[in-house]
Each structure stands twice: as C-alpha cells, then as structure tokens.
Structure 1
Amino acid sequence: MNKFKSVLLLTCLFILSACGGGSGGNDGDGGGDPSTPATNTPPTINVGVDQTVDEGSTVQLSGSGNDIEGSVSYLWQQISGTTVQLSATEISSPTFIALQVENTEALEFSLTVTDNDGASVTDTVKITINNSGSTAGGTETLLFYTHGLSSVDPSSPNSPTLIEATENLVTDLLFGITLPTQRESLVRSGVYNGTTKIISNVNNYAVVYPKTDGKLYKTSALKSGSHTPVQISNESLAHQVCDLVDGGVISDFANVENSQYVYRLSGIDEVCDTTDDIWKMVTVGMDATQSPIIAKAPVINITDENTGAISGPVSG
C-alpha cells in the first residue's frame, strides 16, 4: 500500500511539473518582456514637387518630415548640377539663387529626414534652371525710381509698381519738405570669367534700402523674382543711416548672396560726419535673425561699364 501511494505521489508531481505547477512559470509569456524595446517607426518625408525656374531667381526647396514618436532633423545636399549655395542645410525649406546658365540645366537635391532614434529616410527633387536669354544691358530686370520706391518693367514703362511709400523710407527734411535721399542701392548679378576677368550678363539683382522702422530690407530687381520686401538683419538703427559710399554695395559675382551692403550710422549724436560714426555691413543673403557686421570704410571694385572688366580696387 505504501508503495502504491509513493508511485501515485510521484505521478502527480510529474503532472504538476509538466503543467507549470501553477507557480507563475508563464510570467514571461503574457505581456512580453518589459526590457525589450518597442519597434521604432521610421519618419515620413516630403521633398515637394520638381520645379522649373529662371536663372537669377530665388528658389525655395519645400521639404517636410514627421515622426509619430518624436521630432525629426533635416539634411539637404546637392547631388548633381552646378553647385549653388543653400541658405541653410539643416532646415526643412532652404533657399538658393538660381545661377546664370548658358543652357537649361537641371540640379538635383536630396533631403534626409532622421528621427530621434536614428532612423532616416531620403528622397530627391529636381530643379531645372532656364536660360532667360539675358545680355548685358538687357531688360530681364526692373528699373527703380524714388518718390517712394517704385519699380517698372522697361517693356511697360507706363505701369510702375509701388514697392515702398515715401513715408516708409529714410528721408531728409529740407525747408520743411521731405525728400528721398537716394539711399537705395542696387545689387548686381552677372557671370564672372576668372581667366579673362570679364563680367558678362550683368543685371540688377536686388535693391537694398533702410526704412523708418529702423530695419534694412531688400526687394528683388528681377522680373521673375518676388518683389515683396524682405528684412535682411536685426539692425534697428537703419533710420540713422548716413549717405552711402559709391552706392553702398559691393557685388560678389561668384555668389551674389555674398554681396555686401555697406553703410554708416550716425552714432549716439545722430549727426553724420562726426567722430562717433559707425561703419556696418550686411550681406544680401542674411535674414532678419542675423546681426550686421562691424566694418570700416569700404574698398570698392571698379569695373569698366562697357566691358565689365575689373580694373582694380580703390578706397572708398
């Protein structure tokens, strides 16, 4: 009898062991191992549509990205075509200036969107630049004149467009009459040949000017560009700008966005041509978040108006 009970007891223990014994041996099965990380979902990406633009125009790349688990970062790269300078590479929608081209040219850019866990996706977009057929002295740019700041298409001289009203511009008071001060400056664009030192296809690119709100602005001088004024620095003393030297602009024909607008502030006494005058400059490619650069009296490149040949720098 005792032997039978022993066999029965062993049999029951075997069965309980095979069934898990009700001791919680399945704890790791039901809800999964809490130490196992959740699967990361890659971000989504949108690089916008392919564009066709005119040479000299401002082009905006329109990218976006999204991640359901967190934030994303951006990285733009140019992967083909003549190199252009993006306004930034780590934002969603940078801009660049379409360079002058001899023939229609396609540029290709890639955008990589990366999430917080390092997962990334990449897509590309194509920008085709058209040759506008412009020549030196051509009419692919607008003309500007004062009494306010107005532009006019040379082919439609009777239809000017007001860019800024007179009361918005920095002016001088003469015998109780407010007059424009001609502080507007034209930025030139063109094609520079480093071997011959000749600039061809010279056109107006932008107009830079100070406003009574204390800010510096630019507006496109290109027919194909946007003529809505854009603030180009966080300067708040532009209403103190004195007369400019030689138009106030040094154009960089290799990259027009590097062109410098050089100006002089009247200082604490707000009187020009005194010892506390301050020289400053901005580049045309700056935006409203950037500070102007402390400068000195500029050195201006002198060019031959007929040939575009650079004849050398002189002190301003």
Structure 2
Amino acid sequence: MREAQQERIKCLIIGSGPSGYTAAIYTARADLKPVLYTGLFIGGQLTKTSDVENYPGYPDGVMGAEMMAGFHKQASRVGADLRIGDVSAVDFSQSPFSVTVDGEKGILADTVIIATGATPKWLGLASEQQYAGAGVSACATCDGFFFKGQDVAIVGAGDTAAEEALHLAKLCKKVYMLVRKASFKASKAMVHRVENTPNIKVLFNVEVKEVLGDGVKVQGARLFNNITDEELTVDVTGFFVAIGHHPNTDLFRPWLTMDKAGYIKTKGCSTRTNVPGVFCCGDAQDPVYRQAITAAGSGCMAALDCERFLSEMEQGPFES
C-alpha cells in the first residue's frame, strides 16, 4: 500500500546532463513545476570532458564542467527544483508512478522523464582513468579535432570503432586500430573502408596493458601480442576507446521496452515509451548519435511530449 505522506510531483526528471537539464528548462517554463534528481554523477558525462568545441553558441569552446554548470544554473533560474539524489526504485504499474530516492524517500509522480544517459565501457586500466580528458576519450567524434595532424590509437573491432577510426583518419596523421582478436566484428563494408584507408594501421591480437604518459598527457600505449607473447609500444598522443556503451537503464527494465543492449525504445519520432506518462530522452534511448546537442534536443522533445500528455489528461485528447 502506498504511503499517505508521499510527495506528489507533476513532472519528475531522472538524471542530469544536457537532456535532463533541457527537459527541466522547458517543463519549468511550461509551469509544470518539474523536480529533477541529478543522480550520482551530477551533470552527466560532459563533466568529464575537457574542451567542448562542437556545441553551438560557444565560439571559443567551453570546458564540459563549465558548460553543465551553466545548464544547471539556467534550469534553476527558470524555476526547476534541482535536487541531489539517486532514484533507487520505480514502480510504473499504475499512475501516479511510485518512485524511491536514495532508498528511502517516496515520491508519486504524474509523469516521469528519464534522462539517465549511457556510460562508456572502458578497458579497466588505472592509467586509462588517469588520463581521461587528457588524451584518453570515448568519443572520437567529440574529441578527434584536438588531435589534428597527430598520431592516435583507437581500441575496438565493431562498426562503431571502424567508423570512429575513419573519422580520425580524416584528421590525424596516423591511426592505430587495436583489435584484441584475429578479426573484426564490424560489417564487411566497414572493414573494406578501413583496409582501404592508407593512414589506418590495424594491429590484430593485441591487448592494451597500459596507457603511457608524462603524468599530464598521453604519450603512448603499451601493448601485448596474444600470439607472439611480445610487448610493443605505439607512440600516440590520443587514445580512444570504442568498445561500446552501457545505457543506464537497468532500473527500468521490468517496466519499459528496450533493445538487446538496454536502450529504451521510444515510439516513432517521439520520446514516449510503452508506458503512457513515461518519457525517455538523451543517450538512454540513443545508441547512434550520442552527442550533447542531440541529447539536449531530445530533452526538449520530452518536455513538449510531457506537457502535451498532461494537457490531454486534464482536458481530454486533442482533436487531430
């Protein structure tokens, strides 16, 4: 039985980052009095990014943490209730939806916007994390520009890794593609493009043992060949990891339709999920683009979808 003293919220946003904060800005301006819980990682993945130069409106670039601080400040200024906390349980079986924060606080929400993002998969090396944002990146599209004319390495064997290697090859002098097994997992078309790009050198059967650097920035990578048992070093200034992402959606698995990887499926071109009143935006539903600007755009969409849904509930469906 639901507790009588649970807080009732018209619009609950789970997660920060560009999508969550944008949804908060739009829903606040629509007078939906949104409450946003930031999650454990306030500001999302962008707070781990150094320079951001591909987001419009920042002609000189901006630090990722600074950019997200601006999002936070703007959302707060327009009236969104921004709270530090982690949603630990949800029940979407009936409306209003039951949500638990930090394992203890109970909330009833008329609508929920999920903006929990996705986390890059890493190799698990201490040196990898040491140089994160200082030469190590999980997004070649985001950060490749900073290594223009330099030698870089990218780890991965699938279509995403191949696509990012090709992107880097347009910018960088040389791209080492590091593949753990004896063959690609990528499609034949992508493999053909990689093999026919002169400045991409593929190293098969190699594992990365350590990202090398001077304590400030990346200078290379130490590799181990699984066939010859030999160690080798590549001299690079950029080290990219493209072994996949894990959408932060496990909490919603009992209730929402997802693909095999765990990305939440939304209906058509909307942010609506299979549960009426629950919406999803940003990287939690986007396995393709994964950019700050596309996340922000889908946050706007989720807010508009949410506003329309609440209007329909209050006034009856709009006529088509």
Q: TM-score range by the shorter chain?
A: under 0.3
With normalisation by structure 1, the TM-score equals 0.23
With normalisation by structure 2, the TM-score equals 0.23
More relative contact order, 1 or 2 (CA 8 Å, 6+ apart): 2
Q: Which has the higher strand share?
A: 1
Radius of gyration: which is bigger?
1
